[in-house]
Structure formats: structure tokens, C-alpha cells
Amino acid sequence: MPRIERALLSCHDKTGMVELARVLREYGVELVSTSGTLKVLHEAGIEAISIADFTGVPELMDGRVKSLHPKVHAGLLGLRDNKVHVEQMQAHDFQWIDLLVANLQPVDQLIAQPGITLEEVIEQTDIGGCAMIRSAAKNFRYVTVTVNPSRYPAIIHDMRALDGDVSYETRYRLAQEAFACTADYDRALADYLEQKQPPAV
């Protein structure tokens, strides 16, 4: 099994993230991160680069577009044993992403903010995070994805036992949890919208 060489971190709930990141760096894993998570990592003295530096494109449209980039999703979705995928990665100078650590702001927490409007809920709806989680989960044969800080110890355990990798069984179980997470997120958002009148145009 190949070692984890690159991880992308994008966390609303940053519980345990710094501790996991320190273990990843022990194994020489390159860390890529979105802005809020990057700030926490740098404050903890952990080396990481921004997703903008990774893709070569700055955040666009007030942050609406930052992780929705072919370099991110090719890195998550590409099949390592597929010659065409490997050649295309090399042709575009793309790099594999072996671990995605991402979690979403719960919809109930979002809508509970005092005075928040429907328009503000829509604006804060997570698109890029959901897309990355689904891409990583689809490719669990090669990519580890975790959406739950309580799973970090299992990842650390596997990395220590397997010289920097995560077992297939762990990747599979984490992928199932990741798909459940995005399904729950979409369902909660749909339920919220169902209770509201369409905003004025």
C-alpha cells in the first residue's frame, strides 16, 4: 500500500485537527488547506500551503469558488493504477491527494444563528466541501476521507501500524460515513427550504 504523501484539510470543526496534522507532518505528508483551517495550522506552527497556492488560482467570487478546481478533483478522483489517468495527471502537472480531512457546518447550527435570513443561509451553503468529500469517498480504493474528528485516532493508529498508510477496511468505512454526511447535509438543507417561501427576485 502506498504511503499518504499529500493531505487536504478543510474543517469547520477543528477539534483534534492540529494533533492529526502534527502526526501527518511526522510522516512527511504535505498539507494543503483552505484559508480558515490554514490560519489555525500556521498559528500552531505547522507547515502547510494554501489551496490557492496548490491550484495556482486565487479564491474567486467572494470565496464561492476555491476548491472547485480540476487539480483538486483530479487529485482526489484519479485512479493510481490507470495508465491514462496517470499520464493525464503528469501532462497537466497535477498531484495526487491521498487524504481529505473535511467537515461541514451542520445545517441546524447554520440556521440557528440569530436573525439569519434565507439568503444568508443559501450564501453560506457549502458546495466545495461537499464536492470534495464525495470525490474522495468515491475513490476510497486510493483515498482516505474523514468527516468526523472522532475518527482521527483510527487514522493515526493505521498510519503508525502501516508505516504511513491507512488500511483498505478503514478507508471503506470512512467513505460510507462521508456519503452519509453529505446526504444528511443535503436533506437538512432541503427540509429547511421546504419550510420557507421563495425569496423575492
Which pTM does this prediction carry?
A: 0.93
142: left (phi over 0), alpha (psi -120 to 50) or beta: alpha
Q: In this structure, is the dihedral angle defined by the CA atoms of residues 184, 75, 70 and 51, taken in order, positive or negative?
A: positive
Quick one: cell of 132? 470534495
pLDDT per position as a tens digit, 112-156: 899 899 999 998 999 999 999 999 999 999 999 999 999 999 999
Ordered by where they begin, the domains of the chain are: 6-194 (3.40.50.1380)
Separation CA 108–CA 147 (nearest Å): 17
The string of DSSP codes covering 107-167 is HHHHHTSTT--HHHHHHH--SHHHHHHHHHHHTTTT-EEE--GGGHHHHHHHHHHTTS---
Radius of gyration of the chain (CA): 17
Per-residue pLDDT of the chain (201 residues; tens, 9 = 90+): 568 999 999 999 999 999 999 999 999 999 999 989 999 999 999 999 999 999 988 776 766 677 789 999 999 999 999 999 999 999 999 999 999 999 999 999 999 899 899 999 998 999 999 999 999 999 999 999 999 999 999 999 999 999 999 999 999 999 999 999 999 999 999 999 998 888 777
